[in-house]
Chains A and B, each alone.
Chain A
Amino acid sequence: MLFSSPLFLFIFLPAAILVYYSIRPLAGNRAANTVLLLFSYLFYLCGAGTFTLILLGSTVSDYLLGLLIQRHRSTEKLWVALSIALNIGLLAFFKYANFFVTEVNAWLTMTGHNSVQWTTVALPVGISFFTFQKISYIVDVYRKHTRPLANFIDFALYVAMFPQLVAGPIVRFKDIWDQLRLRSESWKNVYAGALRLCWGLAKKVLIADACGQVADVAFGMGTAVLDTKTAWLGALAYTFQIYFDFSAYSDMAIGLARIFGFHLLENFNRPYAATCITDFWHRWHISLSRWFRDYLYLPLGGNRKAPWRTYLNLLIVFTLCGLWHGANWTFICWGLYHGFFLIFERATGLRQAAAGRWGWIGRPAAFLVVVFGWVLFRAESLPHAAGYARAMLIPLDTPLTVELYAVLHYRNIAFLALAAVATLGAPFLPQWEQLFLTRGAWQTALGLVLILLVLPYCAAFVMAGSGNPFIYYRF
């Protein structure tokens, strides 16, 4: 179920709010968690069907393994290994098996052997996110950063809570443990959550989808006929789209969680204002960066060992980060591309320089690197990415195509311009997400505008069926 669908906005969400707040005062936190869990499973069932059983099954197994780790410390490594093997195994099967078999078959065919018969496996939505959450729980319990949850409902809710179930943010167990057991709901939370939700909906429906239309046309063109301005327009449009799309989802997730009393950590911090790629990864998909840092980079040794080992660790982390996004060589290369720049910055000391007085040049340079990275990320294949990048770099001027003309209408141009101003001017603009939490007459007026004008306009978009799914749904 999409957050930006009528079923969610006008049936599911109001029903969840009504039932939750009806039960909460009468039956307390445990019952409220049960209500949220039931709604979360219903939410997942709507989009994932039978995969819900996989979610349930893996939740049960990790719950039991968490308890086993706690109770049998002597064999804790065995249980941790078992849990990680199960989680990674599920992820590998559903997300990477098709890719692996395709590559093997290509090699077999090339060498004159018969290819392996294989039936394509469908990807359960959100598996990348809830798998990482469960791993974070098991590792935190193993590291004794937290105690395992005795109550299955609470644990299942941690794994499946619908605001962040299918596209994050990836919530580390230690960040939410207290809130599962004890949290307070207030009108202030509902107010802040509602505004954040509307803000995210507007970003998604108005800006991200507008940018997406332009990007789709540019990336859908053959690279042989792609001219330089169209290529740049498409690359920039996608750069804006992916930020506004994913951050919109995070806004909506944070807002929804807030309505039910949860405080989720921020997932973005004006990433295109980064002064270098290292800085970019402190601002982009923060929950994923932290997860990789805490559960992979640091266990590998982080930067505590020799420089070459640090570089290797970075390369491993970012290769896996790329692979996490999808089973395609483009994602792997995208991870390597970012890993390379991180190593380069670390090796040359550029990251310190960019953070200081060279920030004015570091910011556009980092932005350019990121833009080319998104080309790699968005392209259908490596040759497509290479052709697209070539079109950006080697000047070619041909007339705009009819298809591009069709999507460059005033509405899309207006929202593209807004996206450009909001991202490129981010260092000089206030953080809108924080404005909703501050008091003041005009902030309240802004809230009213969001609720009374933007929400109905977005709802009309949604009802007209002109929206697209979130990009990160497929990861």
Chain B
Amino acid sequence: MKKDNSPPQSIAHTLIALLFVALLLLPVVYALAVPHAGAAKTNGGLKSPGLAKEALLEPQYYKSWSRYAQNLITFRSPLTRAKSWIDYHLFAMTDAKGIQVGRQGWLFDKKDIASYQKNDCGKAQHIARQVMHIRSAARLAELAGRRFIFSIIPAKSTIYPEYVGPMPQNRPCAKSMYDLFLSHHKKSPLKAFLRLDADLTAAKTAHGLLYDSQGRYWNAAGAQIAGQALTEALFGATSADQGNDDTNNLGPAVMGQPDGSPANSGDKHHPEEQKHYSACVLYGTAAATPLLPGLMHRFDRLDVINTTTIPSGNHHENLAAYETILILIDESDLDELNVDMDRFCQMLGADAAAGTRHAIDLGDIKARTGSALELTPDRLVIKSMGATAFLEVPSLPGSGDHSLRILKLALTAPQRDVLTWTVEGDTTIGGMRQLRSGINQIYLPLPARPFVRLLVNTGQTAGIFQLENAELLSYGDTASLPLPRPEPGQLPDSSRNAPAEHASMPHEQTPAEPEVPPAIVLNDIQAGRIFQRRGTACDIFISGSYRGRPKAIEAAVLAYDSDKLIVPWTPVDTTPANGIFMGVLPGVPQGGWYRLAARFSGRNAVAARGDSPWGVGLLVACIGQSNMREWFHSGKDLAPHRLMSIHHNGQWRATEISGNGAVAFANQLITRLGIPVGLLDYAVNGSGLRREADWGRGYWTDNSPRSIYRQFIQGVTAAGGTVEFVVWMQGEADAARKTITENQYRKSLNNFITRQVRSDIVNGSGRGHLPFLVVGMVKRPVGLDAPHQAIRNALVAVTRETADCYLAATTLDLKNMGRQHLAPQAYTQLGRRVAQTVLHVLGKTTYYRGPSIVQARRTGDTTIEIRMVHRGGSDFSPTSGITGFKVFNGQSSVAIDGVERIAPDMIRINLSQPARPPLRLTYLYGAMPDSQGAVHDNSALQLPLEPFETRLDRWPGETTRQ
């Protein structure tokens, strides 16, 4: 390189240039020279992606290198810390997600202040409904002899708003959800509500800081103030102490003083002098932790459940077993709070605790819109058109200051659905209920007003519901029987004050006028829909509307292309009324595509034909994480069979289908079974199984209302609620968490299958349990062996110990593309393997898994012989150059000279040098085993030899079976 001419300046420039190069080189050179100083050791331990010839043209491969490089670079941590320091101290900001820097360096969780910023006045209705549910739950708990306290842990920004910093000015609504909650509380105090913000705000000048400037939750001083308030409410308050405190008047509610409570509950209350209690359940989040030491010694048993759904969906607690129920919810979680009144009432025996039970005459219930009713001697049959259908329950006395009334409905639903209800004239009151297929016990707490008239929508999907029973449960006053009728003016005029939904609904069909020509309109089935077969046929629900006076409505099923009659004309509704008909057409045979037709009975001219193709066949729900998503998207090598359909986000799609895995899988099944196959695509990229593996995309064991699991179940419900198989392809997110053990994953997956999936999805297979197919985790060029192997072992263990659970495919021999996904061609192989498993379960094939190793023994100083048993094949390949085997002596690997076939079921490993026991032998183990020369049998699918691990403990070694 040339030198510059003017010496001093040139030297300076040269030195700066050298400095520049040195700075660029320094991180890597330092990391290579001092390996233990590299961030790689402390920051995830990513392995080098190495040289992957097949991935050289894949940008993903270089992204793996980029991640590895970023991890390798020393000084990354100090540099980013220095930047954060500058951002924080110089600019009073941070790039850290979810944190806002306020005044004087105070840090706030953005979630805490979001409620103030986002104009949550729009959530007034939501909060009003929450308040009503909490009030009802508290009352019910009190009547059942339980102590119930509900409290909201104030956000830091609520107690220290002066440090939050600039906020948008002139907002149309400056109320947070907490403000809304308090305003409801102010209007009509919740006796069980322990308000903490007032105590904390009052104490903040006297007690120093109650929240640390950089803490998320209160500090010890803040927790102490709150703990005192809670302890006082629980153990120490007397009515005299609380005389003037309207908002904190918990004593009577908690300590069981009359306070307008029903006479029959008085003997259940604990006297206030009782200072020690048996069992308590605390629903709370992290901020509640500092309160636990003060509470634990006061109870024989204190169960803490981290949830916002009460009772929780995952912990299977029984509220009846607890004497005290505490709910300490973070202010920022208020939106998430969900009091499941049905379960709450059932657990606390609401029926038995009722002072009076008044049966409601089902004949008094009327159809408002979109529905037709048929009263039978023992039930009310509701033909509902879905979201627009509303029933009107006769006016009932509401709850009062000293009473609680609950309307209990016993409703049989044809499928999973969501019931919604509201009070006529006040849409802020009401709620939703999840319905199961079959009978549901629904408890609707009535608001505090003299009379209410409820409007109930039985479900979003059209169907025939049956109301078995309706009764009014009254607590706290028994003087109201027989049911009083409202005086004029006590109820809003239903014709004028119908809810918005009502205003937009079609009016009921009055008896047909003579001049209106008869007509029939069929509610068509969504194009591409596939109904899950039951056996070899299924019943199809049919609905629609009509004009005229039909005696009955008939329906038929036609072949979509030829209009050939598949199911002959059959009466489906012999008592059509209100312009609505619906009924079930039984025995539609498996096959497709079909179309619907309907007509007036005996009048061929009045008929309607559906336009959409649909079929009856086999539904498979596909869930997991990115590899399952890619199964639906990676590759366009195969043309989808015309009888294939995909259900995603509640919609069916029979065209524009791609994804080698999904198409290969469905094509194979359709070709073999000759019936339509529908795949329910509900995998979520990056999703974990357990909470610890929640990388921001959700986790599957989360059963809360907005969880990915509930979205999946909603999808299944929209597809009919019944499937024949579930395919699971997941584990990478949990393996990446590293701390999740094999046992933890195994237990979680087992619970997930048995307690969630099989509980929420109707088994359409005709087997004892809904078949659950587990696909093994694919290879990953990055990541550690141990956590990956732990998850793989857990997946296999679950298939062994869970009934009707199958290892659908081994994937370690399949070609990777990029970091952790399969190559498109590999998805084709995978799809066929999983299809083979389905066919095996259906009894169509004799095998679905590849050969497995049954014996490994040392036959010499340097040789190990392995015997395998075949399932579908009789021999294997390759005959030499087999890879994937590893031999370990302790932690060190023993070099292998070669691995070769010596018989159709025998493999010999030649070690490069004699090795002494104890030895460990593995095949296709770890995060990224070498599967270049993996063993495949000679069956049609060329299935791989299954992964294996064993110890060769004795010399000369005898068999050690895995």
Contact = CB atoms under 8 A, between A and B. Distances in A.
A439 B10 CA distance: 9
- Of all A-B residue pairs in the complex, the 6 with the closest CB atoms, nearest first, are A460-B83, A411-B91, A409-B93, A46-B62, A194-B20, A190-B17
Interface in A414-445: 414, 439, 444
B56 interface: yes
Nearest to A415: B91
Nearest to A466: B95
Given A186-B3, A402-B117, A49 B59 contact: yes
Interface residues of B, number: 56
Size class of the A contact interface (CB-based, 8 Å): 35 or more
Contact of B23 (A7, A46, A411, A451): A451
* Residue among A17, A399, A402 with max Cβ neighbours from chain B (10 Å): A402
B801 to A, nearest CB: 42
Contacts, number: 151
Contact of A14 (B24, B70, B117): B24
Interface in B88-110: 90-93, 95, 100-101
Given A402-B118, A444-B16, A451-B23, A7 B83 contact: no
Contacts of B169: 399-400
Contacts of B117: 402, 405
A10 B27 contact: yes
B14 A191 contact: yes
B65 interface: yes
A119 interface: yes
Given A186-B2, A187-B17, A194-B17, 15 more contacts: A1-B62, A10-B27, A10-B73, A18-B25, A45-B62, A47-B59, A52-B57, A186-B1, A187-B18, A190-B1, A400-B168, A457-B83, A460-B80, A460-B82, A463-B70
B33 interface: no
B563 interface: no
B66 A187 contact: no
15 contacts: A9-B24, A10-B24, A10-B27, A45-B56, A47-B59, A49-B59, A50-B57, A186-B3, A187-B1, A188-B10, A190-B20, A405-B166, A410-B90, A410-B91, A466-B95
Given A409-B91, A451-B23, A463 B76 contact: yes
A50 B84 CA distance: 38
Interface in B111-132: 114, 117-118
Contact of B28 (A10, A45, A447, A455): A10
A74 interface: no
* Residue among B28, B87, B100 with max Cβ neighbours from chain A (10 Å): B87
Contacts of A46: 59, 62, 65-66
Contacts of A400: 168-169
Interface string B10-54: 101110111111011101100000000000000000000000000
Nearest to B169: A399
B635 to A, nearest CB: 12
Contacts of B18: 187
A469 interface: no
Contacts of A466: 95
Contacts of B93: 409-412
Contacts of B80: 460, 463-464
A414 B82 CA distance: 19
A14 B32 CA distance: 14
Contacts of B69: 6-7, 10-11
Contacts of A185: 1-2
A11 B114 CA distance: 41
Interface string B843-863: 000000000000000000000
Contacts of B17: 187, 190-191, 194
B941 to A, nearest CB: 29
B168 A448 contact: no
B13 A444 contact: yes
Given A187-B13, A444-B12, A14 B25 contact: yes
A406 B164 CA distance: 12
Given A184-B2, A185-B1, A414 B166 contact: no
Interface in A1-33: 1, 5-7, 9-11, 13-14, 17-18, 21, 25
Given A25-B1, A191-B17, A400-B168, A464 B83 contact: yes
Contact of B92 (A13, A410, A447): A410
A436 B203 CA distance: 60
A414 B91 contact: yes
Nearest to A52: B57
A457 B86 contact: yes
A459 interface: yes
A102 B608 CA distance: 36
A379 interface: no
B170 interface: yes
